[in-house]
Amino acid sequence: MKQEIIQVPSSDILARAAQFKKDGYRLVQILCTRIPEGYELTYSFDRDYIMTNMRVIVPGEGSVLSVTGQFWYAFVWENEIHDLFGLKVECIAPEVDYGGHFFQLAKETPWHELANAKPPAAAFKVNMRSGLGIDATVKPAAPNTGAAAVKPAVPNTGASAAKPAEGGK
Amino acid sequence: MSYIKKSPWLVHYDGSSCNGCDIEVLACLTPLYDVERFGIVNTGNPKHADIFLVTGGVNNQNLPVVRQIYEQIPDPKVVIAVGACACTGGVFHDCYNMIGGMDKAIPVDVYVPGCAARPEAIIDGVVKGLAVLEEKQKALAVPVRDSRALRESELEPGVAINQSQEAGK
Amino acid sequence: MGKNTIVPFGPQHPVLPEPVHLDLELQDEKVVKAVPSIGYVHRGLEKLVEKRGFQEYVYVAERVCGICSFGHGWGYSKAVEGLMEIEVPKRAQYLRTIWHELSRLHSHLLWAGLGADGLGFESLFMQSWRLRETILDMIEQTTGGRVIFSVCKVGGVRRDISDADLKDIVSRLGKMKKDIDGLVSLFLEDETIHARLKGVGTVTLQEAKELGCVGPTARGSGLAQDYRLGDEGGAYKELGFTPVLETDGDCFARAKVRLREIYQSVDLIKACVENIPAGDIAVPVKGFPPAAEYFARVEQPRGEALYYVKGNKTKNLERFRLRTPTNANLAVLVKMLQGCDLADVPQIILTIDPCISCCER
C-alpha cells in the first residue's frame, strides 16, 4: 500500500480539509503522536481504498482548529486527543464538544509525557494479590495521603483495617 | 443434582475487559452449555441476584458502578471473578488506566482463571460459588432448611388447622 | 410538550453485554439528543507497546476485543510486516483469511443472537448461539482457542491446518447450511422482526457518507465500502468478491447485510480451501522495526479498522494507533438515535453491532 504523507502548516488544516471533502474523500482517522517539538497530528483521508495522509506539527503549547465543520464525525477523535494528550482542539462543534469529559481516566492526559522519556518510577505499582485490602489500594495516590489524613496516628492501617470488615460479610 | 440446594440467580457486569470472557459467560446460557437447566438465571436486576459474576478488571470509571451493583445485591452474596483480568488485571495489569483485578474494588469469593475463561470453567466456578453461598448463609444465622425440617414445619400448622376445624364442629 | 427529561442508559443494561453509557434527552417518548460517554473499558492498550516487545504485543492486540480478536492480531501483524518489509508466505495469507472469515461467521451469528434477544425473541437468540458453537468448534479444532486464537504472529501464522481438517471444515459448513437457512429465513420473514426493525433508525446514503460510517452499517445504506476489496494482505483479491449491499438504510437493512454476509463468508472459506497453496506458514523475523511508520487496514466483522505503527529501531514500537469500526460508527449512532422512540434505542444501538472494548481500547 502506498503510504503518502503530506506535510502541511497548521494554519492550512481547515482549507485542506475542505479541499479533501470537496474531492470526495472520507476522513478515516486522526492520529496524534507526542514528539519532542510538540504534537504530530496525522489526518488520514480515504478515497477508493487509497489513503492520503495530511501531517501537521503543533508546538507544545499550541492548539489546533477542529475539522468538525467539514467532517462532523471527527469529534470522536478530537475529543480523544484532547483528553489523552492534553492538546487543545478549538471550535469543536458545540453539540459534541465534551470539554474534556469524553474519557474519564485515572490519570489526566496519560499520553502527554514523551513516549521514550523514562517514566518517573512507575506511577503506581499494581499490587497483584493483596487479598481484600480494598479501599487502600484503589486510588494510586490515596494510600499515603488519604489514609494518613483520616487517621494521622496510624498511617499504615489502610490495608489491614479493611480486611476484618470484609471478612464479616 | 441433589447437591444444589438453591437456584442461584446471577447478575453479570463486564468491567474493563476484552469481552472475550463476557461472551463466554453468555455462551454458558445457550444450548450447548445451558446453565438454565440448573436453575441458574441471568438477571439484569442486582436485587434479584445471589451471585455477582464479574469479568474484566477495574478502572476508575467503573469502580463506583461495580461497588454499587455489589451493594445492591442482598446478603448473602457471592462474587465470582471470571477470567485473568478479573482475577489480577491479566494482560492489561500495567496499563495506565487499570487499577487491577476485581478484588481491588469488591471482595471476591471465587476466582476463575483463563484468558478467555472457558464456559466449563465458568460453570465450575459458579458451582464452587454455591458452596460459599451456603456457608455465608449459615454465618448469617439464616437456618438452611433441610427437607425434613421443612416438612415438619409445614405439617404442624396443617395439623393445627385440622384440630381447630374439628373443634369448631 | 412536557419539558425535556434526561434518561441515563447503561452502563449496566440487560441488552448491553458491554458497558456503554448514553444520556438520552427525551421529549415525552422521543429521543431528541443522545450523548454517549465512554471510558468504562478504556485500558490504554496503545501505550502498552512501550512496555512490550513488538512481537510480544500481538497477544495484547488480540485482546483489544474478544470478538474480533483474530482481526486485531492480523491487523497489527500486517502493520508491523509492512513496516519491516516482510513478505508473508502465500499459505499463511490463505490461512489468515480462513480464520478471519471464521471469526466473521462467529461474530455475525453472535450479533444475530444479541439482536434477537434485544427484540425479546429469545428462542432465536438460542438458535443463533447454538449455530455459533459449531463455528467455535471449528476454531477450537484448528487453533486451540475459542474466542482468543493466538495463531497470528508477525511474519505468518503459528499453526498450519491439515488437509483433513480443511476438508472437515468444508463438510461441516455444508451441513450447517440448512440451519443457517432456517435462521436467516426466520429473521427475514418473521412479522414481529419486520415490525420492530423496518423503518427504524434510517440512515440515508448521503448521511452514511457524511458521517463516515464503516462496515455493515455503511453497506446497509448502500455505501459500497468493504476494505476486503482494497486488501493487500489476505486472499480476497485472488478469490474475487463483491460486497453485500442493501439500500434501505434502516435497522432491517443492516441486519440483512450481516445475514447475507454469513453466506458470503462460508463461500469465501470454501474458495480458500480449494485454492490454498502448499508451502511455508511463516518467515523468520530478524532485527527490530526501522524508524519509519506504516498504516494497515483490515475489514473486521464490524467494519474497517486501521492500524498505525511507528518504529524506532528498538524492540519496542514508538507508537501504535488503532481506529476501530465502532469508534468510527459512534457518530452515526448519535444521529440515528435522534428522533427515535425510547423503546427502539436498544435495537438501534445493537444494529451498529457496537463493540465497546474495541472502541475504547
Q: Which ipTM did the prediction report?
A: 0.77
How many angstroms separate the CA atoms of C324 and C361, rounded? 9
Question: Do A8 and A76 belong to one domain?
Answer: yes
**Phi and psi at residue A34, in whole multiples of 5°?**
-85, 125
Choose between A45 and C232: higher pLDDT: A45
Residue carrying C-alpha cell 484532547? A82
- Do C229 and A49 lie within an 8 Å CB cutoff? yes
- Do C60 and B69 lie within an 8 Å CB cutoff? no
Choose between A104 and B101: higher pLDDT: B101
Domain boundaries, chain C: 42-355
Q: Is A158 within a domain?
A: yes
**Taking 80 as the threshold, does the pLDDT of residue A142 lie above it?**
no
Q: SS3 for B42?
A: strand
Burial class (CB in 10 A: 0-12, 13-18, 19+), C242: exposed
- Residue % of chain B over a pLDDT of 90: 2
State chain A's mean pLDDT as an integer.
67
Q: How close B102 comes to chain A (CA, Å)? A: 10
Question: Do A81 and A35 belong to one domain?
Answer: yes
Q: Is A29 within a domain?
A: yes
Q: Is A106 within a domain?
A: no
Q: How far apart are the first and last CA of chain C?
A: 41
Beta bridge pairs of residue A39: A34, A58
- Do C48 and B95 lie within an 8 Å CB cutoff? yes
- Do C19 and B65 lie within an 8 Å CB cutoff? yes
Question: Do A88 and A26 belong to one domain?
Answer: yes
Q: Is A103 within a domain?
A: no
pLDDT per position as a tens digit, B77-129: 889 999 888 888 888 888 877 888 888 888 888 999 888 888 889 888 888 88
- Do C38 and A73 lie within an 8 Å CB cutoff? no
Domain boundaries, chain B: 9-143
Q: How close C329 comes to chain B (CA, Å)? A: 19
| Any A CB within 8 A of B89 CB | yes
Smallest Cβ distance to A126: which of B60, B93, B136? B93
What are the angstrom distances between the C-alpha of B161 and each of A92, B152, B153, B166?
Answer: 76, 14, 13, 9
Q: How close C110 comes to chain A (CA, Å)? A: 26
pLDDT at position C321 is 86
Q: How close C106 comes to chain A (CA, Å)? A: 26
pLDDT at position A166 is 39
Smallest Cβ distance to B19: which of C59, C136, C357? C357
- Do B103 and A131 lie within an 8 Å CB cutoff? yes
- Do B103 and A169 lie within an 8 Å CB cutoff? no
pTM for the model:
0.79
pLDDT at position C194 is 86
What residues of B are in contact with residue A166 (Cβ under 8 Å)? Answer: 107
Taking phi over 0 as left and psi of -120 to 50 as alpha, with beta for the rest, C148 belongs to beta
Is residue B28 within 8 Å of B35, Cβ to Cβ? yes
**Counted domains in chain A:** 2
pLDDT at position A126 is 43
Beta bridge pairs of residue C304: C299
**Taking 70 as the threshold, does the pLDDT of residue A140 lie above it?**
no
How many angstroms separate the CA atoms of C339 and C351, rounded? 16
Interface probe for B, chosen from A101, A103, A124, A126 (most Cβ of B below 10 Å), is A126
Quick one: cell of A68? 468538525
Question: Do A148 and A80 belong to one domain?
Answer: no
Ranges of H-type helices in chain B:
20-29, 63-72, 84-88, 119-139, 147-168
The arrangement of secondary structure in B9-143, i.e. its CATH architecture, is 3-Layer(aba) Sandwich (3.40)
pLDDT at position B139 is 78
What residues of A are in contact with residue C308 (Cβ under 8 Å)? Answer: 31, 42
Q: How close A76 comes to chain C (CA, Å)? A: 7
pLDDT tens-place values along chain C, 361 residues long: 567 888 777 766 666 667 777 788 888 778 888 877 776 777 777 777 778 888 888 888 888 888 888 888 888 988 888 888 888 888 888 888 889 989 999 889 988 888 888 887 888 888 888 888 888 888 888 888 888 888 888 888 888 888 888 888 899 888 888 888 888 888 888 888 888 888 888 888 888 888 888 888 888 888 888 887 777 767 787 777 788 888 888 888 888 898 889 998 898 888 888 888 888 888 888 888 888 888 888 888 888 888 888 888 888 888 888 888 888 888 888 888 888 888 888 888 888 887 777 777 7
Q: How close A36 comes to chain B (CA, Å)? A: 21
Question: Do A27 and A91 belong to one domain?
Answer: yes
Nearest-Cα residue of chain C relative to residue A107: C44
| Any C CB within 8 A of B143 CB | no
Beta bridge pairs of residue B17: none
What residues of C are in contact with residue A1 (Cβ under 8 Å)? Answer: 82, 232, 295-296
**Nearest one of C308, C313, C311 to C297, comparing CA atoms:** C308
- Do A169 and B104 lie within an 8 Å CB cutoff? no
Domain C42-355 CATH superfamily? Cytochrome-c3 Hydrogenase, chain B (1.10.645.10)
Question: Do A16 and A75 belong to one domain?
Answer: yes
Smallest Cβ distance to B61: which of A104, A131, A138? A104
Tell me the residue range of the domain where A155 lies.
134-167
Q: Is A62 within a domain?
A: yes
Q: How close B167 comes to chain A (CA, Å)? A: 49
- Do C82 and A1 lie within an 8 Å CB cutoff? yes
Smallest Cβ distance to B65: which of C11, C18, C42? C11
- Do C321 and A31 lie within an 8 Å CB cutoff? yes
- Do A31 and C209 lie within an 8 Å CB cutoff? no
Beta bridge pairs of residue A53: A5, A44
